[in-house]
Structure 1
Amino acid sequence: MATLTPSQVQIIKATVPVLAEHGNSITTKMYADMIDANPDLRNIFNHTHQATGHQARALAGALLAYAAHIDDLGVLSPALQLICHKHVSLYIRAEHYDIVGANLLESMKTVLGEAGTSHTMDAWGAAYRQLANTMISKEDGMYQSAGWHGWKEFYLARKVRESEDITSFYLMPVEAKLMIPVYKPGQYVSVRVKVDELDGGVWQARQYSLSDAPGQDHVRISVKKEPSIEIAGPKHMAHKGYVSNMLHEHKSEGDVIRVSHPFGDFYFEDKDEDKDAPVVLISAGVGLTCLMSILNTLVQEKSSRLISWIHGARDSDTRAFRKHVDALAANNERVRAVYFDSNPKDGEVEGQHFDVRGRIDLDKIGKDVLFIDNDKTQYFACGPAQFMLDVDAKLRSYGVPAERVKLELFGTGGVPRA
């Protein structure tokens, strides 16, 4: 694989301030021009993330980080791993990198104007190819190790309402011979459906955590029905979440849905050296889905670990899996559950219907529930980005090192962790 010359490395590092100022303009133009010229890509890219600008911002941030660490790319390894898992779950291939690269460089040259000299553009062309080759190689390895290739048809075997806005979908393969892999608890699949209201019909894929233990004849995803998506800001609620609403409103038992192989770099792994370490699962809202897979796995395997389940919801109507978790805790002395309600319903009593009023605050939980004194305790958190950053910061203030805290953010990009 070709490497950048020392002078090209210096050029890339010199563009960091420019990318900090103009990166989002570059990537916004790139996506618009690229999709106009390649309309088939509408079937790959998330329409909502395009409309909100979330995908452009995520790519701009990734480019800035790449430029800033061009001479120490090992720092970016966790971020690249996360992106590669998302790519393979959407079946991104090498030819897509060529299209993105050509459009990125063209947009960069246009936005930079006179600053986009031939030397600058040559350096970025080499830098992009280096990054693309690294990711293509990683993703090829993931494709080769997967149990199946391409989108597979699964039928909806059962549809179960878990809360006011979360429903579980039990999916079984149409092909009788298709083996469901023993995925790692915490991973996800992509679900692909055709959205007729988008430009006469566009395929859209969304990633949903597998919400049950592996090793069964089905996979289960538990999906929140998104009532609206912000396009231009909090006051401009443009449309419902396309895929989540289609699953909730238009998919019935027996219907066929396209599903990817399981992927994801957020998962629980039972290592020999910490088999007795406690596990603390902290979630807000629909963030509980990936942690439910971890909880069910630990209980199913009769783990000797102590387990704390800490969940925050608006009220009892929006708390999914409450009965299931309570039953696990009642029948397993190693499992303990703590519930926060941010806006309890009339008649709900603290200490009876929930444990603590308000949003999750770890200071309001006993240290015996968080197992802070055990230097092997593993923490898993999932929910909105700010929620996870607050949890991470609080655990660090307790002396928990970052490597024992795993965070999962749904959507494009990762958690903007300090």
Structure 2
Amino acid sequence: MPTAAQIDAIKRTVPVLQQHGEALTRHFYARMFEHNPEVRRYFNPAHQRSGGQQRALAGAILAYARHIEDPSALAGAIEVIAQKHASLTIQPEHYPIVGENLLASIQEVLGDAATDDILDAWAAAYGELAQVFIDREQAIYAGQRERQGWAGFKSFTVERRQVESDNIVSLTLVPTDGSTPPAHLPGQYVSVRLQDADGNTAMRNYSLSNAPGAAAYRISVKREVGNRDVPGGDVSNRIHDRLAQGDRIELSPPCGAFTLDLSASADKKLVFIAGGVGITPLISMAHAALKASASRQVIFIQAARHGGVRAFTSELETLAQDHPNFALYTCFSEPRQTDRNGDHQVKDGELEANDLERWVGGWDATYYFCGPLPMMQRIDKMLDTNGVAADDRRYECFGPLQPLAA
């Protein structure tokens, strides 16, 4: 634990971090990739180019400084990050690399404001936080070896390709050694390791979209075409264009803190709100919820631009036909003429509060939602405004962890 004087020094840096946090983290990543290029493969370059990774780290450093006297307030965020690190097989030897470059960036960006007492305080604080992550990640690896039979990366074979929409393809994956993969928790993801278009090793996280306990894993990958501001995804495009039935890729064991909890309030409604490819963890959750109970009401709301990019259409409709306690609704923000069929369960436009209240039958429910960050921010605010407790608002960000509230 940092000393009282070190805690005071860190707290004095809060205003500076508020003003210069992103400049600091931009400098940090550039410095680390220059001095330690071996760690670059652990980071998604699209998140670097978009600035999302830098903003997320700046927010995390600021939050840690604000809660330096009570780091337990950050337990939820720490668990999310530790799970992500474990999926990428981060090891204890990586932490000194990060620490050295972070402290150097603090000194180089803040200049004279980075006094010796501030640098010493941040060195002590980083050492403590690093040990928290190391201990948790080692526990995750031990649990994977015990429960799932492997840690690190393992070879899987593409058993099947399935086109789910104009921009999403599913891969059914089986262990190359002929074993049966352990059941994942609904909502978890795996890390895929393969070579990118330049021949470099790349790792990306993809949610498991199949029902838990199946004889194979299924990931469903959106083609990230990019635009003027954000480049396309090297790995997602390679999966769409190059990966075929019979090819091999490597997977790490399932990880993730965004999982379905069926242990409490068994009579409370479950509401899943999916935006775009954010459907992938939620459809796995829906399968699990329906298997667990034939009476608990499950409401599934899917948002897409139009029917061409609506994924898992037939699978969801089959669930609705087979389970009387499952209700399916769809919102199209840019509907095509063929999407307008007059069905009261299909809406033109974004999901609004009156739609949600009508379809759910009030607000008393547990909500799981995943999709583009602006959509999740809007949903979270909507739920909060209508009295839904924070414990009943559960979400996952694809990519760097971002707060939903401003």
TM class by smaller structure: over 0.9
Q: Once the 2 structures are TM-superposed, how far is the Cα of residue 176 of structure 1 from its aligned partner?
A: 2.2
Residues 373 and 46 of structure 1: CA distance in aligned 2, closer, same or farther (over 3 Å):
closer
Partner of residue 113, structure 1: 111
CA deviations 1:291-344 (Å, max 9, x no partner) are 000111222344421010111111111111112111211222111111111111
- Aligned runs of 1:294-309 on 2, under 5 Å? 294-309=285-300
Task: Write the letter of the residue equivalent to 1:23.
Answer: G
Residues 378 and 371 of structure 1: CA distance in aligned 2, closer, same or farther (over 3 Å):
farther
CA deviations 1:23-46 (Å, max 9, x no partner) are 222221221121112222122222
Partner of residue 339, structure 2: 348
Match of 2:339, SS state, is: coil
Task: Write the letter of the residue equivalent to 2:53.
Answer: Q
Partner of residue 216, structure 2: 218
TM-score by length of 1: 0.92
- Aligned runs of 1:204-243 on 2, under 5 Å? 204-228=202-226, 235-237=228-230, 239-243=231-235
Greater than 4 Å deviation, 4+ residue runs: none
Match of 1:343, SS state, is: coil
CA deviations 1:58-85 (Å, max 9, x no partner) are 1111101100111121211111111111
Separation (CA, whole Å) in 2 of partners of 1:373 and 1:97: 44
CA deviations 1:269-302 (Å, max 9, x no partner) are 221x422221101111111111000111222344
Partner of residue 402, structure 1: 390
Determine if contact 1:187/1:209 at 8 Å carries over to the other structure.
Answer: yes
Task: Write the letter of the residue equivalent to 1:370.
Answer: V
* 1:52 pairs with 2:50: yes
Task: Write the letter of the residue equivalent to 1:362.
Answer: A
Determine if contact 2:25/2:58 at 8 Å carries over to the other structure.
Answer: yes
Residue 349 of structure 2 is aligned with which of 320, 341, 358? 358
Partner of residue 99, structure 1: 97
Percent same amino acid at aligned positions?
Answer: 39
Residues 105 and 373 of structure 1: CA distance in aligned 2, closer, same or farther (over 3 Å):
closer
Partner of residue 313, structure 2: 322
Q: Once the 2 structures are TM-superposed, how far is the Cα of residue 133 of structure 1 from its aligned partner?
A: 0.7
Match of 2:204, SS state, is: strand
Task: Write the letter of the residue equivalent to 2:254.
Answer: P
Which blocks of at least 5 consecutive residues in structure 2 are unaligned? none
Separation (CA, whole Å) in 2 of partners of 1:62 and 1:205: 22
Partner of residue 379, structure 2: 391
Determine if contact 1:82/1:414 at 8 Å carries over to the other structure.
Answer: no
Partner of residue 282, structure 1: 273
Match of 1:330, SS state, is: helix
Determine if contact 2:50/2:229 at 8 Å carries over to the other structure.
Answer: no
* 1:370 pairs with 2:365: no
Q: Once the 2 structures are TM-superposed, how far is the Cα of residue 371 of structure 1 from its aligned partner?
A: 4.3
Determine if contact 2:156/2:248 at 8 Å carries over to the other structure.
Answer: yes
Task: Write the letter of the residue equivalent to 2:360.
Answer: L
Determine if contact 1:278/1:371 at 8 Å carries over to the other structure.
Answer: no
CA deviations 1:346-375 (Å, max 9, x no partner) are 2432523961110122322443x324364x
- Aligned runs of 1:231-270 on 2, under 5 Å? 235-237=228-230, 239-270=231-262
Residues 173 and 341 of structure 1: CA distance in aligned 2, closer, same or farther (over 3 Å):
same
Partner of residue 195, structure 2: 194
Determine if contact 1:212/1:293 at 8 Å carries over to the other structure.
Answer: yes
Task: Write the letter of the residue equivalent to 1:216.
Answer: A
TM-score by length of 2: 0.95
Task: Write the letter of the residue equivalent to 2:347.
Answer: V
Match of 1:94, SS state, is: coil
Task: Write the letter of the residue equivalent to 2:367.
Answer: Y
Q: Once the 2 structures are TM-superposed, how far is the Cα of residue 143 of structure 1 from its aligned partner?
A: 0.9
Separation (CA, whole Å) in 1 of partners of 2:340 and 2:41: 48
CA deviations 1:178-221 (Å, max 9, x no partner) are x4222210111111111142xxx321111111101111111001
- Please identify, of 136-145 and 302-311, the stretch whose mean Cα deviation from structure 2 is larger: 302-311
Partner of residue 167, structure 1: 169
Q: Once the 2 structures are TM-superposed, how far is the Cα of residue 378 of structure 1 from its aligned partner?
A: 1.3
Determine if contact 1:42/1:203 at 8 Å carries over to the other structure.
Answer: no
Determine if contact 1:190/1:206 at 8 Å carries over to the other structure.
Answer: yes
Task: Write the letter of the residue equivalent to 1:9.
Answer: I
Determine if contact 1:185/1:267 at 8 Å carries over to the other structure.
Answer: yes
Task: Write the letter of the residue equivalent to 1:399.
Answer: G
Determine if contact 1:266/1:406 at 8 Å carries over to the other structure.
Answer: yes
Partner of residue 335, structure 1: 326
Separation (CA, whole Å) in 2 of partners of 1:353 and 1:316: 16
Determine if contact 1:167/1:224 at 8 Å carries over to the other structure.
Answer: yes
Separation (CA, whole Å) in 1 of partners of 2:244 and 2:34: 35
